[in-house]
Structure 1
Amino acid sequence: MDKAGFDTSLGEPDRKEFGPYTLVRRLGVGGMAETYEAIRKGPGDFTQRVCLKLVLPFFRDREDFLTLFKREARLAAKLRHSNVVGVIDFGETDGVTYIALELVDGADLATLLDAQPGTRIPPEHAALVGHDIAAALEHAHDPHRDGSADGPLDNAIIHRDLSPSNVLVSQRGEILLTDFGVAKAITGTARQQSAVKGKVPYMSPEQLRSETLDGRADLFALGVVLYESLAGHRPFQGEHDPGTIMQILNGDRRPLLEAAPDTPPGFAEVVEQLLEPDRDARPESATALLEVLDPYVPSPRERRELGKTVSTVRASLPAPAPLTPVSGSAPTDASGEPNREASGVARTGSSLPGGEVAAAAPSPQPRTPSRRVWLAGVLVLGIAAGLGLWANRAERAPSPERAPTTATPEPPPTPAADTVVEAESPAEPAAAVAKPAEPVAQEPKPGRLSVTVFPWGDVWIDGKPRGKAPVLRVALPPGRHKVSAGQGTPSKTRVVRLKAGQRRSIQFDLSK
């Protein structure tokens, strides 16, 4: 199935050769990698458009991260399924390690749900998400996917980081799973004990307790995604990570039928089973889940409607100006560290450290005039206008997490001697909305900050602990904020100024 897509209306950008690829456009940058739209040419008239995911200069000499990056490629390359974003190539050119991924012309679920507070999707579309991602997990979890009757156990792959930002929807209504950056192959005769990795709000109780994992950990995460899609907010929403963790461990959540009463009762019951703290109470496998979801999978017409929604979203925003790839190594700032153009998805929550560094793929953000942001090598095109197609079909539920906060910007703090004041980046443009009959004062939209800590550490914002990272994403009111990182106590500090609706990304290296 050809999932590649290229919009020629974007204009003809400058190009740069990178090994067998021609870089067409620099699409985004995240905490540890950046992505380019690229073309691979072969004999005759053969061409293939791919997304090229490159390790940032800051991490190119970090063996632990390169090992993780290579493992992502190795595990993902084992998967060949219509509901999994495929790996096309893996290699190294001029000292830069890369993964080539197929393009998916559409949007990720996180971007769609993030566009407006409380956005929900119709139960029919949520059922499609559940079915297709369960099919992807069935393939990943199956040690015999290559057709052999006695395949090795380590053929089974647990994703461990399933969240809306890793669920992709194409303009044809295809739904795919991506980003196996923290996936784990099951090795040995027993399931291997898991390091605590992933996004906290989507982690199963056994994953939070660092217990042995099987595929039911991914099924729990899928349950969180489905609940969030149907209700417009996550089932577990503590004020900070510790509160969220306690809710997950205790199964403390509002019943789905109260949060989303238009959900078919049988479908709601399936989602509730996925969220059981005791994994033995969940479906025993993705195959079993597919069987119980089958009655709720809608007709092909609903898939086409889902694709139309994505198409409307894509058409709603102007094309960005082309970017000129920087010759030589990937873009860096004046300090030699990676370019900190904003990236990150507020809804994904923070990640916990484990025995290895978890890869942070570039994450989607609302468009700026000169950037198109990619997630795990997938083209994300548009977010706002098409959501009306969902909003008209599903009454929105209020979401305390997404409610914008009103705050008076703090006066500029006096930086300490080791404090670095980050330069501003332009605020993102306000979305076009219909002009009301009477002027209505609107509360300022919060900014979004993504904090990457290498290899991991605690994060404080304005003197208050906000959780652990290698990657922490938070919503903050407009103004200046003092961000610190350290292991136990703050050791490095930066001051960041956010504008309303702006997304920023900063990094701390605690290994030095």
Structure 2
Amino acid sequence: MQNLEGLMVETGRVIQRRYLLQRLVKQGQVCAVYQGFDQVLQRVVAVKVAPAEQIPTYRASLRLTSQFSHPNIIGVYDVIPEADGLYIVQEYVDGDDFATLLQAQPSIYQIADLGRQICQALMYANTSSRKVCHGDLTPATILRDRRGSVRLSNFASPPDMAYFNAWSIVGADGVALLDAETPWGQMSENRLADDTRAVGILLYQLLSGRPQGATSVEPPTDGRLRFHRNVPPEVCDVIARTLIRQHPQNIVTPDALYSELKAIADALEPYEPVSTFKSEDVLKPHQVLPTGTGKLSSASAGVRQERSQPGLLSNYRSEPGSLAVSDAPPAAAALADPQFAQSPMTDQALPYPEAQQAPSRVNMPVLIVAGLLLFALFFVIGYFLAQMVLK
């Protein structure tokens, strides 16, 4: 039995004679999430329980998001208002929460890919037919399932102001949110910018220098960003442009941040060779292997070219009172193109069937008959020549 803001919720309870509450998954400040079981459709579900005073807020949110269907957004199945509270039945996601991701210390590629997926969900909600912003993009709203897909919840919900106030000292001049007036969930340019910056805050926490095993990251008290030393400068620059509102190249939309993160993720994507050998692919004599140029090598080349140019990060390293980014040497091994040493090929080195044809068998009787015919022919010719000479 759990005490949720004065609301007593018992595990083992069946909601609306259908949803069995099995165990508490997460206890939040406002609501709790239980693993439940749909006894009609025989499937595992998540049941979010909110106190009665929060029902109007959640109903407004659900009206905006009830038709959402996207692989990066947790689906809502059912909403059950009761006298003691509101029960929201959602898709159950078996995966890792944000604290677990911090402990796992994901690679730079995984972090860029995570940010790219978050942006995809925001872009889906921001389309002209929906015009919905998230508004409360915090670590509590992020899950990554066992297949590596990022899943977002709590769209169109009131923000956790304590969280955003704490992070407002990092490049935001103490302003937590640009748009706190528009009704929650509704889209505006400033609300888009707030959501985009919220993605940057999440990514920075994954990229920051933190103790091993840490489950949370506190905002730096001096407002200066400090990245782990293996973070490439290009990644540091993108995060700085997302967090610092006064940056001359400030990233203010999920679409723009998605493009930046996609370029980084494509360049860092692990190379996995796949065997596609077929019998018709055997090289013929004097055939030359083509030189492969895939998107990985071209994207990596683009990143390396950008590294050769002076970036904006140098403006934030030594100036007092400005953003400080700790020296982060490029992850050369991660960005380097795979090189394949190719030795010269000669016909002798290739065991082609065409080059090693077996000698044909000799038919001896035919050879003997042919020899006798030739002997007889030359004998007759010689006889007539001799007669002519003797005469």
Cα deviations across residues 398-446 of structure 1 (Å, max 9, x unaligned)?
xxxxxxxxxxxxxxxxxxxxxxxxxxxxxxxxxxxxxxxxxxxxxxxxx
Q: 1:109 aligns with which of 59, 75, 98?
A: 98
1:71 aligns with 2:69: no
Question: How far has the Cα of 1:19 moved from its partner?
Answer: 0.6
Q: 1:133 aligns with which of 100, 118, 121?
A: 118
1:215 aligns with 2:192: yes
Q: 1:201 aligns with which of 166, 171, 174?
A: 166
Question: How far has the Cα of 1:20 moved from its partner?
Answer: 4.5
Structure possessing the higher relative contact order (Cα contacts under 8 Å, 6 or more residues apart)? 1
1:230 aligns with 2:207: yes
Question: How far has the Cα of 1:98 moved from its partner?
Answer: 1.0
1:19 aligns with 2:4: no
Give SS of 2:79's match.
strand
Output the CA distance in 2 between the equivalents of 1:15 and 1:235.
37
User: What's the counterpart of residue 368 of structure 2?
Assistant: none
Structure 1 contact 53–100 (Cα < 8 Å) conserved: yes
Map 1:45-84 → 2, pairs under 5 A: 46-55=41-50, 59-60=51-52, 62=53, 65-84=54-73
User: What's the counterpart of residue 34 of structure 2?
Assistant: 36
Q: Which amino acid aligns with 2:92?
A: L
Question: How far has the Cα of 1:198 moved from its partner?
Answer: 5.1
Question: How far has the Cα of 1:31 moved from its partner?
Answer: 3.0
Question: How far has the Cα of 1:272 moved from its partner?
Answer: 1.3
Q: 2:88 aligns with which of 83, 93, 99?
A: 99
1:260 aligns with 2:235: no
1:272 aligns with 2:240: yes
* Shift in alpha-carbon separation, 1:54–1:236, aligned structure 2, 3 A: closer
Map 1:412-423 → 2, pairs under 5 A: none
* Shift in alpha-carbon separation, 1:221–1:96, aligned structure 2, 3 A: closer
Structure 2 unaligned runs (5+)?
Answer: 1-10, 182-189, 211-216, 273-332, 335-391
Output the CA distance in 1 between the equivalents of 2:268 and 2:66.
29
Cα deviations across residues 200-231 of structure 1 (Å, max 9, x unaligned)?
33455554466663211111111111111012
User: What's the counterpart of residue 311 of structure 1?
Assistant: none
User: What's the counterpart of residue 155 of structure 2?
Assistant: 180
1:291 aligns with 2:265: no
The percent identity for this pair of structures is 23
Output the CA distance in 2 between the equivalents of 1:177 and 1:232.
25
Question: How far has the Cα of 1:24 moved from its partner?
Answer: 4.3
* Shift in alpha-carbon separation, 1:161–1:52, aligned structure 2, 3 A: same
Output the CA distance in 2 between the equivalents of 1:269 and 1:99.
40
Cα deviations across residues 372-410 of structure 1 (Å, max 9, x unaligned)?
xxxxxxxxxxxxxxxxxxxxx99xxxxxxxxxxxxxxxx
* Shift in alpha-carbon separation, 1:279–1:179, aligned structure 2, 3 A: farther
Give SS of 1:35's match.
strand
Question: How far has the Cα of 1:78 moved from its partner?
Answer: 4.0
Output the CA distance in 1 between the equivalents of 2:166 and 2:267.
31
After superposition, the CA RMSD in angstroms is: 3.5
1:123 aligns with 2:108: yes
Larger radius of gyration: 2
Q: Which amino acid aligns with 1:19?
A: Q
* Shift in alpha-carbon separation, 1:302–1:68, aligned structure 2, 3 A: farther
Cα deviations across residues 319-378 of structure 1 (Å, max 9, x unaligned)?
xxxxxxxxxxxxxxxxxxxxxxxxxxxxxxxxxxxxxxxxxxxxxxxxxxxxxxxxxxxx
Output the CA distance in 2 between the equivalents of 1:296 and 1:25.
42
Output the CA distance in 1 between the equivalents of 2:17 and 2:125.
29
Question: How far has the Cα of 1:273 moved from its partner?
Answer: 0.9
Output the CA distance in 1 between the equivalents of 2:268 and 2:105.
21
Structure 2 contact 113–262 (Cα < 8 Å) conserved: no
* Shift in alpha-carbon separation, 1:302–1:159, aligned structure 2, 3 A: farther
Q: Which amino acid aligns with 1:53?
A: K
User: What's the counterpart of residue 141 of structure 2?
Assistant: 166
* Shift in alpha-carbon separation, 1:221–1:138, aligned structure 2, 3 A: same
Output the CA distance in 1 between the equivalents of 2:219 and 2:23.
36
Give SS of 2:93's match.
coil
Output the CA distance in 2 between the equivalents of 1:170 and 1:302.
20
Give SS of 2:191's match.
coil
Q: 1:88 aligns with which of 77, 81, 104?
A: 77
Structure 1 contact 162–202 (Cα < 8 Å) conserved: no
Cα deviations across residues 52-89 of structure 1 (Å, max 9, x unaligned)?
1122xxx42x3xx2211222333332432111111111
Structure 1 unaligned runs (5+)?
Answer: 1-13, 145-154, 185-194, 239-246, 305-392, 395-512
Structure with the higher fraction of residues in helix conformation: 2
> Greater shift after overlay, 20-29 or 84-93?
20-29
Structure 1 contact 22–38 (Cα < 8 Å) conserved: yes
User: What's the counterpart of residue 368 of structure 1?
Assistant: none
Q: 2:131 aligns with which of 156, 160, 175?
A: 156
Structure with the higher fraction of residues in strand conformation: 1
Cα deviations across residues 93-152 of structure 1 (Å, max 9, x unaligned)?
465321111111011112432x5xxx74310111111110111111122233xxxxxxxx
Output the CA distance in 2 between the equivalents of 1:202 and 1:179.
20
Give SS of 1:23's match.
strand
User: What's the counterpart of residue 440 of structure 1?
Assistant: none
